Structure 1
Amino acid sequence: MLRICRVLCSRAGPSPGGWQPLSFDGGAFHLKGTGELTRALLVLRLCAWPPLVTHGLALQAWSQRLLGSRLSGALLRASIYGQFVAGETAEEVRGCVLQLQNLGLRPLLAVPTEEEPDSAVKTGEAWYEGNLSAMLRCVDLSRGLLETPDPTGTALMQLKMTALMSTRLCKQLTSWVRRPGDSLELSPERLAEAMDSGQDLRVSCLNTEQTRHLQASLSRLHRVVQHARAQHVRLLVDAEYTSLNPALSLLVAALATRWNSSGEGGPWVWNTYQAYLKDTYERLRRDAEAADRAGLAFGVKLVRGAYLDKEREMARLQETEDPTQPDYEATSQSYSRCLELMLTQVSHRGPMCHLMVASHNEDSVRQATKRMWELGIPPDGPVCFGQLLGMCDHVSLALGQAGYAVYKSIPYGSLEEVIPYLIRRAQENRSVLRGARREQELLSQELRRRLLGGRAMELRA
């Protein structure tokens, strides 16, 4: 059946046999052990409890005081950390990834480091330089996790730009980019040239200290991409808040100018587009057309978005227009339009255009697989799928077993590094956690089936 599915999906157009949608009924859970399923059910139920998400950091501190660091850490490792994190050491990460590979899934490593907007200022450049070292190690680890060397670049890795440059500088650049006419001083071509040459960059909107930090940040970004390209690892840049995204997109465009040319072998730097923002479809369309005109490869990670509550609150406080879609239905329609746009781009441009359908929504995944079949896009080609480690396994496993390229976003690191990161992600993804009810139901059904099946065998014996 798997061979038949691959043949059908790799043809130049839809087969005469008709479209057969994938089933996300939890049937692929048979690939996982009972202990894994039990932990997943308990953790997902905990994470759907609003007080735990809202007061997660305070509860962690209280647990450490009451139980001690050792016992508190052991409980976290057996529950939330064990569910959503690959481990702390390279060997633990490799063990987690090997399990995923045995299930037909691939790793998308993420260094759990970032600078929150308006947070306390970090101590000089040392903090960002330390993050640069962590990113370079992540590139090496991503490459080392491949079973065999693959120069085509199936190894992917997430990149958080605010781990390498100040959010305050990003806000300053965003304000400048949004001013009509003035943005020409910060063209992607000029920034790309500064990255390549290492020459001093003069920007009139920045003071001496900010200019120095921009220069250092450009150097860090250039070093990460240069190393990733040498190791055949593609970088997926995370989107963040609307106050930062224009600056981040400018930097992605600069990196793309340098590293996404046709002779480089496809896009090595991808940007993330958030469908819950009102202007996303138009930005995506313009960027796709601009890349095509320039002869650049184009890489996109398409997400619904995670900063809804904070974006709305920020707009209310600043008395500006809410940048987000009015409701979930509107966001889903936006995602569907963006998905159709990108799949059409892939069908026209082939390997010069890559897409990650990063979604936990079954309807979006079904739309993607159906349109891939109709457009003749092979399941293991320039379109892949992405979900979080420890979540949406009923979708990930079904896709993987059908031959699609599926990546699980995998944070790794110590408890001290990862737990605050996980709590921030949970706060940003409340709707995803609440929407995991169906997964909980499927997990419960599978566990009941195993329990009742075991009892039936005992009775027959």
Structure 2
Amino acid sequence: MLRTCRVLRSQAGSSTGGWQPLSFDGGAFHLKGTGELTRALLVLRLCAWPPLVTHGLVLQAWSQRLLGSRLSGAFLRASFYGQFVAGETAEEVKGCVQQLQTLGLRPLLAVPIEEEPDSAVKAGEAWYEGNLSAMLRCVDMSRGVLETPSPTGNILMQLKMTALTSTRLCKELTSWIRKPGASLELSPERLAEAMDSGQDLQISCLNAQQNQHLQASLSRLHRVVQHARAQRVRILVDAEYTFLNPALCLLVDALALRWNGPGEGGPWVWNTYQAYLKDTHERLRRAVEAADRAGRAFGVKLVRGAYLDKEREVAQHQGTEDPIQPNYEATNQSYSRCLELMLTQVSHRGPMCHLMVASHNEESVHHATKRMWDLGIPLDGPVCFGQLLGMCDHVSLALGQAGYAVYKSIPYGSLEEVIPYLIRRAQENRSVLQGARKEQTLLSQELKRRLLRRGLRAPH
């Protein structure tokens, strides 16, 4: 353990020569074109307008009626789609990724497919099988779009579990898991064995149709990770609602048992932990200790959380305790505690433990970089940073130019697929969008500086 720490500290020291606080003052905006900066400023200002986010789907429908599909689509492509989406075709996505690479940033591809809880449309197995094909293509694209893969960096992609298994099944499993003395039938070990063997799995709390769907879901998840492992692409599983997460965590634990073993080369399946939930630090601590005891690799994407309004609404409707931290400061404290826990674990376990600091919060990023230096964790090692494509570029670019591993979450697909997905993400991330005032100010300052410079150069 001490030897690992010394090696990490030596690598970090040689990379940085000493920790220096990064400056998130927009200085790295000189790397981007004027057109990109102008679009970013206009789109972020529009996204900070609450009625647009709240009524996004209705406004989209009205724009199609008033302008027609062609004009409405052209406007969206030139604005929101162009700002937050990599493109539709493999070539468009590759072009976006190559542009990011020139800025010192890396891609985290995301297929914009998920099943909304309580959806009126009941999806069949054919829908989930179609999503499986999309996920397998995402694995191949994640591998193929990189012009010059980093020799030390990881290739990552995001996965929404509810694209491959139904929310109804997850709710049923969650309600069973939460019962006192829940049956060992639902242990990760048993699910992992069923994934490997392909044998029928019969869970007594599920009916025949649900058991069949669970078996098919396990097979789909296994095939995605198996293919990703062969392509050396690591899977970051997104967290979702609290009434789904216990079931999702069970499935992730089963995948981790199979694919995060000591001889597999680090974690291939990472789970996401939401710091705005009251029980997150305790759950993360238990998961860290269990992985350490078993000698398994462990990967975590740490976020604040995005489903605040919906979670509180559900808790109030059901008469249950609010699962969310009481205020933003409490969420910040929770994030800092979880961050400290994971960074300490990374410093002890080295490449067996990986962390993505997925945050748009400058204080959290500053804290993470300082603690990485204190603990001797190399810049381009088992800790990376993550932000959304089209947002928080003043932080992403500063990190990338300083040599840190920075990933941008990149959805891709057609307008019809992606715009509803973007609107849902915007509704879940209202506070992030409305809090992007500093980025808007920095963009405005950079554009004014360029205009002034051009004015001074103009002939008199």
Pairwise mapping of residues 137-216 of structure 1 onto structure 2 (< 5 A)? Answer: 137-148=137-148, 154-216=154-216
Q: Would you say the 8 A contact 1:105–1:406 is kept in 2?
A: yes
CA separation of 1:9/1:295 partners in 2, compared to 1, >3 Å: closer, same or farther? Answer: closer
Aligned equivalent of 2:246: 246
Pairwise mapping of residues 76-87 of structure 1 onto structure 2 (< 5 A)? Answer: 76-87=76-87
The normalised TM-score by structure 1 is: 0.96
Deviations 1:350-374 (A, max 9, x none): 0000000000000000000000011
Q: CA deviation at 1:112?
A: 0.2
User: CA–CA distance in 2 between the matches of 1:116 and 1:188?
Assistant: 25
Report the residue type matching 1:317 in the other structure. Answer: H
Asked if 1:28 corresponds to 2:46, the answer is no
Alpha-carbon RMSD: 1.7
**DSSP 3-state at the match of 2:263:** helix
Q: CA deviation at 1:123?
A: 3.9
Q: Would you say the 8 A contact 1:384–1:404 is kept in 2?
A: yes
Report the residue type matching 1:261 in the other structure. Answer: G
User: CA–CA distance in 2 between the matches of 1:140 and 1:8?
Assistant: 32
Q: Would you say the 8 A contact 1:9–1:372 is kept in 2?
A: no
Aligned equivalent of 1:70: 70
Report the residue type matching 1:116 in the other structure. Answer: E
Report the residue type matching 1:177 in the other structure. Answer: I
User: CA–CA distance in 2 between the matches of 1:225 and 1:69?
Assistant: 38
Aligned equivalent of 1:442: 442
Asked if 1:354 corresponds to 2:350, the answer is no
User: CA–CA distance in 2 between the matches of 1:434 and 1:16?
Assistant: 34
Aligned equivalent of 2:386: 386
Report the residue type matching 2:361 in the other structure. Answer: N
Report the residue type matching 1:339 in the other structure. Answer: L
User: CA–CA distance in 2 between the matches of 1:389 and 1:16?
Assistant: 27
Pairwise mapping of residues 4-153 of structure 1 onto structure 2 (< 5 A)? Answer: 11=11, 19-148=19-148
Asked if 1:421 corresponds to 2:400, the answer is no
Deviations 1:288-332 (A, max 9, x none): 000011111000000000000110111111111000001111100
Gaps of 5+ in 2: 1-6
User: CA–CA distance in 2 between the matches of 1:154 and 1:450?
Assistant: 36
User: CA–CA distance in 2 between the matches of 1:117 and 1:195?
Assistant: 25
**DSSP 3-state at the match of 2:273:** strand
Aligned equivalent of 1:4: none
CA separation of 1:361/1:123 partners in 2, compared to 1, >3 Å: closer, same or farther? Answer: closer
Q: Would you say the 8 A contact 2:176–2:205 is kept in 1?
A: yes
Q: CA deviation at 1:120?
A: 2.1
Aligned equivalent of 2:3: none
Segment drifting more, 259-268 vs 150-159: 150-159
User: CA–CA distance in 1 between the matches of 2:211 and 2:72?
Assistant: 44
**DSSP 3-state at the match of 1:282:** helix
Aligned equivalent of 2:307: 307
User: CA–CA distance in 2 between the matches of 1:102 and 1:10?
Assistant: 28
Q: Would you say the 8 A contact 1:200–1:215 is kept in 2?
A: yes
CA separation of 1:15/1:252 partners in 2, compared to 1, >3 Å: closer, same or farther? Answer: closer
Q: CA deviation at 1:212?
A: 0.3
Aligned equivalent of 2:278: 278
Deviations 1:233-270 (A, max 9, x none): 00000000000000000000000000000100000000
Report the residue type matching 2:52 in the other structure. Answer: L
Q: Would you say the 8 A contact 2:153–2:380 is kept in 1?
A: no
Report the residue type matching 2:122 in the other structure. Answer: K
Q: Would you say the 8 A contact 2:153–2:381 is kept in 1?
A: no
User: CA–CA distance in 2 between the matches of 1:392 and 1:54?
Assistant: 22
User: CA–CA distance in 1 between the matches of 2:85 and 2:235?
Assistant: 20
User: CA–CA distance in 2 between the matches of 1:437 and 1:146?
Assistant: 32
Aligned equivalent of 2:454: 454
Q: CA deviation at 1:149?
A: 6.0
CA separation of 1:149/1:395 partners in 2, compared to 1, >3 Å: closer, same or farther? Answer: closer
Q: CA deviation at 1:439?
A: 0.3
Aligned equivalent of 1:230: 230
Report the residue type matching 2:93 in the other structure. Answer: V
Q: Would you say the 8 A contact 1:97–1:145 is kept in 2?
A: yes
User: CA–CA distance in 2 between the matches of 1:209 and 1:263?
Assistant: 36
**DSSP 3-state at the match of 1:266:** coil
User: CA–CA distance in 1 between the matches of 2:247 and 2:117?
Assistant: 13
Asked if 1:345 corresponds to 2:345, the answer is yes
Gaps of 5+ in 1: 1-6
**DSSP 3-state at the match of 2:209:** helix
CA separation of 1:212/1:152 partners in 2, compared to 1, >3 Å: closer, same or farther? Answer: farther
Q: CA deviation at 1:394?
A: 0.2
Q: Would you say the 8 A contact 2:15–2:378 is kept in 1?
A: no
**DSSP 3-state at the match of 1:182:** coil
